[in-house]
Chain A
């Protein structure tokens, strides 16, 4: 009985406690609910005044959706609109819309100090439009330091941006971007940030909530750790990762000077998992301050461990003092300027062996220098791109390939297709002292990088040029091979490519195969229909020798030639010039030592020979029914000391039998003098071309 009473007593006390707690909780919840409801009612009725206050504070009209209070310390504003006005385009960027804005404030500070201090901000799907790039560089870092310092003061603030949409308000540009990031700025001025950026195609500008999955292919992840100093930011760590690319940087940004050191790794074996995955602060901190990636140093990887950058910013200008690194034991340097405002202008140089003289540099087999200078306006580039590279034949003097563009447009899409268009391009090639150039109009280039194919078409000297090729760079085999077709091009306009074209008039059609890598050669055929030759040294010499003026400017029905060029030789074969009074067939070749090997057959018509008193006597050597008198000869030896041989023929033998010895000798001397004169004129011609 006593026990029963004891049990009853204990149980009833327990029941009382539970009742008290339960009632307290209910009362508390009721109070919380009542409080929440009251605050929400208050917010509902104060909606307009809150809207006006915010508009006044921001100095621009703001439209707010529902404002909700969640107990104990969260305020959420839905559908925040910043209507675009005409003044907006004068700004560098604008925030157009925020789907949901949530703020968490410190209850204790509100209660004790009557101060509304915000500790966390969540921005869901904000939409930002960037009108000009230069806002990033138009102010020095001090403005950012001051703004962040005033924001933080004596508290820590966290800003969480989810699915932000960033649009660049320009046609045919990259974007839009989808941005997820967390920023944590502590009262000790340290900054932590991590997140990812996705680059989309430039088609849809609507909120991409449902489309983010399609864009994950172009996903960049980043993390940042640093702290704010008096006049800048100390960057303890920046990491950037995308699939096969990893970049780690550290340094500082002071006033307007950015100094960074870093490492880069490019290749197929970078294992994922570092910046992506768990998105909480602890996991990300661990990843940042420990080595996040395990990657094998295989031959597929490019690793650079000594990246060193010094960049200065001024109003509208970026000066790259140096971005240097070493790869494959060769030092490289990028330097130059990029002007952003009022127009975008670039002047950059990238070279190997930057610390030695230019002459010494181009004694190295890996020497190269790339120059880019020009204007970028309305998404078009007008300027020049040049490449100087080591010439294995002439040490210390580089060969040069250059291109000058007028209105070059470039696009690159997610399917790895590159398109290029330029209204006018001047391509030049310089080797030793010889220059070659060609001008193309309406150049169209298309390349599918995955299939390694390239197609090109252009207008060239009143005709057309088509090129199809293969670009293949693998570790085992590198190959650059093109098929070229040319149609109805005015031959004499191609004198810039090869000076001898300047003497040939007519419409040229040609087809050729050209290989640049592994070793250079070009071979093909060309034909010129219904044209003429004017002021070609060879025909001038023939005209002088035979005293036939018509030979200075022979017309032809067709001139056909096969050609072959490589680093060691130049050959013209199957030469066939066909006209009413002149026939020319044969071949002519010259090698890298300037040694000539040539056999030519020159046929002159009866009618032509009859025109000259010097050659009229030769007609009696022509039998009846023969319309052409042929001279077959061979040239051999050095270009500047060619030997000449009249090849065996009936006509030659008959003439030899007829001529006395003394006249034979005199005739030979005359030909010798004429050949020397031809050589002299050819040398003068080459000198003037150079």
Chain B
């Protein structure tokens, strides 16, 4: 009888511990990925981000991870995969602070592919994404730091929007 009770208690303890381990995995994955990115191991960072997105699609960390996956594909010129990833990102996180940057990635990919129809549609979407009011300033800036630690900046003027990544010009769209 005692043996039975002890076995049950042990089994429950194991179960709880495994739960503990499993709940911590996405944060671990994410932290590891960030560390890899800091160290310049972008491929390993990508693997972790990708694994996190696939394994924990509803996680709070999934948004940044998905953006990071798109960034990686773009950086290795896998434009088709980057396009698919950013398109999913835009649909899944329409209110994300990074959405404007995802749209600009899609625009750049369309420009590389010479897809005029897509370019026009994306430019329209970008220009309609935010309505801005300039009372005492000539521009407004919105910043975002990606999981790959890249610094994104969107600068809105009355008649155009400029994107820089790590202070380097990336793309712009004007009226």
- Chain A contacts to B: CB under 8 angstroms: 593, 595, 597, 634, 636-638, 640-646, 652, 655-656, 659, 664, 667-668, 671-672, 675-676, 679
Q: Of B7-15, B55-63, B130-138, which stretch is located at the interface? A: B130-138
Interface string of B43-64 (1 = CB under 8 A from A): 0000000000000000000000
- Chain B contacts to A: CB under 8 angstroms: 124, 127-136, 138, 156, 158-159, 175
Task: Give me 18 other A-B pairs in contact (C-beta within 8 A), A638-B128, A644-B133, A646-B136 excluded.
Answer: A595-B175, A597-B175, A637-B127, A637-B131, A637-B175, A638-B124, A641-B128, A641-B130, A643-B131, A643-B158, A645-B134, A645-B138, A646-B135, A652-B135, A667-B135, A668-B135, A668-B136, A679-B131
Q: Report the separation of the CA atoms of residues A679 and B131 in the bound assembly, to the nearest whole angstrom.
A: 11
Instruction: Name the B residues within 8 Å of A652 (CB-CB).
Output: 135-136
Contact of B133 with A672 in the complex, beta carbons under 8 Å? yes
Interchain nearest-CB distance for A674 vs B (Å): 9
Are A644 and B134 also in contact (CB < 8 A) when A636-B159, A636-B175, A637-B175 are? yes
Contact of A645 with B158 in the complex, beta carbons under 8 Å? yes
Contact of B133 with A668 in the complex, beta carbons under 8 Å? yes
Contact of B135 with A664 in the complex, beta carbons under 8 Å? yes
Contact of A656 with B158 in the complex, beta carbons under 8 Å? no
Contact of A593 with B136 in the complex, beta carbons under 8 Å? no
Q: Report the separation of the CA atoms of residues A597 and B134 in the bound assembly, to the nearest whole angstrom.
A: 15
Instruction: Name the A residues within 8 Å of B128 (CB-CB).
Output: 637-638, 640-641
Q: Report the separation of the CA atoms of residues A597 and B159 in the bound assembly, to the nearest whole angstrom.
A: 9
Q: Report the separation of the CA atoms of residues A644 and B129 in the bound assembly, to the nearest whole angstrom.
A: 15
Report which residue of A597, A636, A659, A676 has the largest number of chain B beta carbons within 10 angstroms of its beta carbon: A636
B interface SS class: loop
Q: Report the separation of the CA atoms of residues A595 and B174 in the bound assembly, to the nearest whole angstrom.
A: 11
Instruction: Name the B residues within 8 Å of A595 (CB-CB).
Output: 175
Interchain nearest-CB distance for A689 vs B (Å): 22
Interchain nearest-CB distance for B122 vs A (Å): 14
Contact of A671 with B158 in the complex, beta carbons under 8 Å? no
Instruction: Name the A residues within 8 Å of B135 (CB-CB).
Output: 646, 652, 664, 667-668, 671
Interchain nearest-CB distance for A654 vs B (Å): 11
In the A-B complex, the 9 residue pairs with the smallest Cβ-Cβ separation, listed nearest first, are A645-B134, A672-B133, A645-B158, A656-B136, A641-B131, A636-B159, A641-B128, A644-B133, A643-B132
Contact of A643 with B136 in the complex, beta carbons under 8 Å? no
Are A643 and B124 also in contact (CB < 8 A) when A597-B175, A636-B175, A637-B159 are? no
Identify the closest chain B residue to A669 (Cβ): B133
Q: Report the separation of the CA atoms of residues A637 and B158 in the bound assembly, to the nearest whole angstrom.
A: 8
Q: Report the separation of the CA atoms of residues A645 and B140 in the bound assembly, to the nearest whole angstrom.
A: 11
Contact of B159 with A676 in the complex, beta carbons under 8 Å? no
Candidates A641, A646, A659; contact of B127 at CB < 8 Å = A641
Q: Report the separation of the CA atoms of residues A655 and B136 in the bound assembly, to the nearest whole angstrom.
A: 9
Instruction: Name the A residues within 8 Å of B134 (CB-CB).
Output: 643-646
Identify the closest chain B residue to A659 (Cβ): B136
Interchain nearest-CB distance for B44 vs A (Å): 41
Contact of A676 with B136 in the complex, beta carbons under 8 Å? no
Instruction: Name the A residues within 8 Å of B129 (CB-CB).
Output: 641
Q: Report the separation of the CA atoms of residues A597 and B160 in the bound assembly, to the nearest whole angstrom.
A: 12
Instruction: Name the B residues within 8 Å of A675 (CB-CB).
Output: 131, 133
Instruction: Name the B residues within 8 Å of A641 (CB-CB).
Output: 127-131
What would 28 A/B residue contacts be, using CB atoms closer than 8 Å? Answer: A597-B159, A597-B175, A636-B158, A636-B159, A636-B175, A637-B159, A637-B175, A638-B127, A638-B128, A641-B127, A641-B129, A641-B130, A642-B131, A643-B156, A644-B132, A644-B133, A645-B133, A645-B158, A646-B135, A652-B136, A659-B136, A667-B135, A668-B136, A671-B133, A672-B131, A675-B131, A676-B131, A679-B131
Identify the closest chain A residue to B123 (Cβ): A593
Interchain nearest-CB distance for B76 vs A (Å): 35
Interchain nearest-CB distance for B47 vs A (Å): 39
Instruction: Name the A residues within 8 Å of B132 (CB-CB).
Output: 643-644, 672
Contact of A593 with B159 in the complex, beta carbons under 8 Å? no
Instruction: Name the A residues within 8 Å of B159 (CB-CB).
Output: 597, 636-637, 643
Instruction: Name the B residues within 8 Å of A676 (CB-CB).
Output: 131
Interchain nearest-CB distance for A667 vs B (Å): 6
Q: Report the separation of the CA atoms of residues A638 and B124 in the bound assembly, to the nearest whole angstrom.
A: 8
Interchain nearest-CB distance for A545 vs B (Å): 12
Interchain nearest-CB distance for A251 vs B (Å): 53
Identify the closest chain B residue to A664 (Cβ): B136
Interchain nearest-CB distance for B125 vs A (Å): 10
Instruction: Name the A residues within 8 Å of B133 (CB-CB).
Output: 643-645, 668, 671-672, 675
Instruction: Name the B residues within 8 Å of A645 (CB-CB).
Output: 133-134, 138, 158
Instruction: Name the B residues within 8 Å of A655 (CB-CB).
Output: 136
Interchain nearest-CB distance for A61 vs B (Å): 85
Q: Report the separation of the CA atoms of residues A644 and B111 in the bound assembly, to the nearest whole angstrom.
A: 29
Interchain nearest-CB distance for B81 vs A (Å): 31
Report which residue of A644, A652, A656 has the largest number of chain B beta carbons within 10 angstroms of its beta carbon: A644
Interchain nearest-CB distance for B17 vs A (Å): 50
Interchain nearest-CB distance for A92 vs B (Å): 66
Interchain nearest-CB distance for B79 vs A (Å): 27
Interchain nearest-CB distance for B159 vs A (Å): 5
Identify the closest chain B residue to A593 (Cβ): B124
Report which residue of A637, A640, A646, A671 has the largest number of chain B beta carbons within 10 angstroms of its beta carbon: A637
Q: Report the separation of the CA atoms of residues A659 and B135 in the bound assembly, to the nearest whole angstrom.
A: 12
Interchain nearest-CB distance for B29 vs A (Å): 38
Interchain nearest-CB distance for A645 vs B (Å): 4
Instruction: Name the B residues within 8 Å of A659 (CB-CB).
Output: 136
Q: Report the separation of the CA atoms of residues A593 and B128 in the bound assembly, to the nearest whole angstrom.
A: 12
Q: Report the separation of the CA atoms of residues A659 and B136 in the bound assembly, to the nearest whole angstrom.
A: 10
Report which residue of B128, B130, B136, B138 has the largest number of chain A beta carbons within 10 angstroms of its beta carbon: B136
Instruction: Name the A residues within 8 Å of B127 (CB-CB).
Output: 637-638, 641
Instruction: Name the B residues within 8 Å of A637 (CB-CB).
Output: 127-128, 131, 159, 175
Instruction: Name the B residues within 8 Å of A664 (CB-CB).
Output: 135-136
Q: Report the separation of the CA atoms of residues A676 and B131 in the bound assembly, to the nearest whole angstrom.
A: 8
Identify the closest chain A residue to B156 (Cβ): A643
Identify the closest chain B residue to A653 (Cβ): B136
Interchain nearest-CB distance for A508 vs B (Å): 32
Interchain nearest-CB distance for B94 vs A (Å): 15
Report which residue of B124, B131, B133, B159 has the largest number of chain A beta carbons within 10 angstroms of its beta carbon: B133
Interchain nearest-CB distance for B114 vs A (Å): 21
Interchain nearest-CB distance for B51 vs A (Å): 38
Q: Report the separation of the CA atoms of residues A676 and B130 in the bound assembly, to the nearest whole angstrom.
A: 11
Identify the closest chain A residue to B158 (Cβ): A645
Instruction: Name the B residues within 8 Å of A597 (CB-CB).
Output: 159, 175
Instruction: Name the B residues within 8 Å of A679 (CB-CB).
Output: 131
Q: Report the separation of the CA atoms of residues A638 and B158 in the bound assembly, to the nearest whole angstrom.
A: 11
Q: Report the separation of the CA atoms of residues A638 and B127 in the bound assembly, to the nearest whole angstrom.
A: 7
Q: Report the separation of the CA atoms of residues A672 and B132 in the bound assembly, to the nearest whole angstrom.
A: 7
Instruction: Name the A residues within 8 Å of B156 (CB-CB).
Output: 643
Q: Report the separation of the CA atoms of residues A671 and B156 in the bound assembly, to the nearest whole angstrom.
A: 17
Interchain nearest-CB distance for B160 vs A (Å): 9
Identify the closest chain B residue to A652 (Cβ): B136
Instruction: Name the B residues within 8 Å of A668 (CB-CB).
Output: 133, 135-136
Report which residue of A593, A636, A643, A671 has the largest number of chain B beta carbons within 10 angstroms of its beta carbon: A643
Instruction: Name the B residues within 8 Å of A638 (CB-CB).
Output: 124, 127-128
Interchain nearest-CB distance for A641 vs B (Å): 4
Interchain nearest-CB distance for A10 vs B (Å): 115
Identify the closest chain B residue to A661 (Cβ): B136
Instruction: Name the B residues within 8 Å of A636 (CB-CB).
Output: 158-159, 175
Instruction: Name the B residues within 8 Å of A642 (CB-CB).
Output: 131
Interchain nearest-CB distance for B154 vs A (Å): 14
Interchain nearest-CB distance for B116 vs A (Å): 14
Interchain nearest-CB distance for A352 vs B (Å): 30
Instruction: Name the B residues within 8 Å of A667 (CB-CB).
Output: 135
